[in-house]
């Protein structure tokens, strides 16, 4: 697993998709994740919503940074994709604007 991985994830009885926001080489199963919402971003989008384009996801979707949570490795049910480099840069910029630097 790496930063930008899109995973299938179980939260209680719900199956959702999440995006790995932070993870490091020495602790690959511990980091922060944010839910992937299947909806288009409003215009203008608040800083905590990062829109995904076609290279990342086939339908309109956003990463919701206002719902960050710690990664629970036991809740992962599968892989669903990987963000593009351009979207990873947008996520980094949004995290810095919303939470402050994490790198």
Number of domains present in the structure of the chain: 1
How does pLDDT run across 19-43, given as a tens digit for each residue? Answer: 999 887 777 778 999 999 999 988 8
Question: What span, in angstroms and rounded, lies between the C-alpha atoms of 2 and 20?
Answer: 7
Range with the poorest average pLDDT among 24-28, 58-62, 70-74, 90-94: 24-28
Question: Among residues of the chain, what percentage have pLDDT more than 90?
Answer: 70
Residue 43 sits in a domain whose CATH number is 2.30.30.110
Question: What span, in angstroms and rounded, lies between the C-alpha atoms of 63 and 65?
Answer: 6
Report pLDDT for 99.
Answer: 85
Q: What is the pTM of this model?
A: 0.88
Contact 71, 9 (CB under 8 A): no
Contact 17, 36 (CB under 8 A): yes
């Amino acid at each position: 697993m790496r930063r930008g991985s899109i995973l299938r994830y179980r939260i209680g009885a719900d199956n959702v998709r999440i995006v790995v926001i932070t993870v490091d080489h020495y602790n690959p199963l511990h980091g922060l994740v944010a839910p992937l919402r299947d909806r288009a971003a409003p215009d203008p989008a608040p800083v905590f919503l990062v829109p995904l384009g076609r290279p990342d996801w086939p339908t309109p979707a956003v990463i919701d940074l206002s719902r960050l949570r710690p990664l629970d490795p036991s809740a992962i049910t599968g892989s669903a994709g990987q963000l593009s480099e351009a979207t990873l840069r947008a996520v980094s910029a949004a995290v810095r604007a919303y939470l402050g630097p994490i790198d």
